[in-house]
């Protein structure tokens, strides 16, 4: 295989900024599960206030099932760029891709030992399915995405029809099935978008934003509001009409808002003042895997064990403030690191394992 890792100076700033922004959403979402008691358990207690309930609803509305979809879209987009680069270099893509997914699987399995919400294992397994799709035309990719988005709702409808005869594990399987189906759907859409360079062409991205963001907001806001309300009513994994409504609302609303986030961010990068404020997020995006694992270490190793100490549990509003503070530190630390090193520590090891030799880690005198 003649392929080599992408040099830092060849990276696309808009994609790194999007990854950084998505990682902030991941932290906001995952903190509710890291802490003890979880936000859901705390909000169900008599100690919860209206502000606590509003904050949890806001996280569910803005983040749940949206940020990992954005990451999934970017994953597919990145694979499309690797395909284009591989074709340009006449290298064999399939063996290299399978090897990369195998290494990512090992990282994900290690991560899942400490955090049952790991997404890397799912990405690694589903990433293999991108191989048969890599040459598929847009109508096929679109159909595959729509089918994957519809499958959880169809499964929920089938379970609701079975009623008491349905499997008791349905509630436990509802979220992982949805997560896998939605991730594969966004992989396919990201693959299609990456072929056209949609997010790396400011003019094309702005035109698409003007055409799509309005309808996506009209669809996404009510659908996600309904989904957040249904989750609060206990519809998650329920073999009932409410469970089916939740899956339909999520399938419609989550991708809509995920695309709004993507186009809003790319459009903002086309404005000099906003671009200057958003570019620091790119440092987190360049080290996204390292920062993702670091968030778990902080959440599971520190916050889940200590909470706020004598001040009591971490409530949803306090958790949002902590997420902002933690992510701000990640931005500062990532920029400091990349002024000295070319890759994040985990990215460096992953690249070394992928290509059979560790790339130079130290940055040159003009980096950063």
pLDDT per residue as tens digits for the range 161-183: 766 555 555 556 777 888 899 99
- 326 pLDDT band, cuts 50/70/90, is very high
pLDDT tens figures, 284-308: 999 999 999 999 999 888 777 666 5
pTM equals 0.89
Cα–Cα distances (Å) from 164 to 157, 158, 234, in that order, read 13, 12, 17
- pLDDT grade, residue 106 (50/70/90)? very high
Residue 155 within any structural domain of the chain: yes
Domain for residue 226, yes or no?
yes
- pLDDT exceeds cutoff 50 at 47: yes
Domain assignment present for residue 244? The answer is yes
The predicted-structure confidence for 13-27, as pLDDT tens digits, reads as follows: 889 999 999 999 999
Tell me: do 59 and 79 sit in the same domain: no
Domain with 83 in it: 75-255
Same domain, 82 and 201: yes
- Within this chain, do residues 48 and 132 fall inside the same structural domain, yes or no? no
Give the count of domains, the chain: 2
């Amino acid at each position: 295989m003649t392929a080599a890792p992408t040099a830092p100076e060849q990276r696309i700033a808009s994609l790194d900024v999007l990854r950084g922004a998505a990682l902030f959403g991941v932290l906001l979402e995952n903190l509710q599960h890291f802490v003890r008691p979880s936000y859901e358990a705390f909000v169900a207690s008599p100690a919860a206030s209206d502000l606590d309930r509003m904050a949890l609803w806001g996280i569910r509305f803005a983040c749940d099932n949206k940020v990992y979809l954005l990451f999934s879209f970017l994953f597919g987009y990145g694979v499309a760029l690797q395909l284009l680069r591989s074709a340009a270099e006449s290298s064999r893509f399939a063996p290299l891709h399978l090897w990369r997914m195998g290494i990512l699987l090992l990282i994900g399995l290690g991560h899942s030992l400490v955090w049952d919400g790991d997404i890397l294992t799912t990405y690694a397994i589903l990433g293999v399915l991108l191989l048969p799709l890599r040459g598929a035309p847009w109508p096929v990719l679109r159909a595959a995405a729509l089918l994957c988005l519809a499958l959880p709702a169809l499964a929920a409808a089938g379970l609701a029809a079975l009623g008491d005869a349905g499997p008791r594990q349905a509630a436990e399987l509802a979220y992982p099935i949805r997560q896998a189906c939605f991730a594969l759907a966004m992989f396919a859409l990201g693959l299609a978008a990456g072929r056209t360079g949609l997010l790396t062409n400011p003019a094309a991205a702005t035109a698409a934003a003007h055409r799509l963001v309005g309808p996506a907001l009209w669809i996404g806001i009510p659908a996600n509001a309904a989904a957040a309300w249904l989750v609060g009513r206990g519809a998650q994994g329920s073999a009932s009409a409410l469970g089916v409504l939740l899956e339909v609302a999520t399938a419609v609303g989550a991708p809509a808002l995920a695309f709004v986030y993507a186009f809003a961010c790319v459009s903002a990068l086309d404005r000099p003042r906003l671009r200057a404020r958003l570019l620091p997020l790119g440092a987190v995006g360049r080290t996204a895997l390292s920062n993702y694992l670091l968030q778990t270490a902080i959440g599971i190793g520190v916050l889940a064990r200590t909470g706020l100490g004598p001040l009591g549990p971490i409530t949803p509003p306090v958790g949002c403030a902590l997420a902002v503070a933690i992510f701000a530190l990640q931005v500062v630390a990532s920029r400091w690191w990349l002024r000295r090193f070319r890759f994040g520590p985990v990215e460096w090891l992953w690249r070394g394992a992928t290509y059979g030799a560790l790339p130079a880690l130290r940055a040159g005198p003009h980096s950063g």
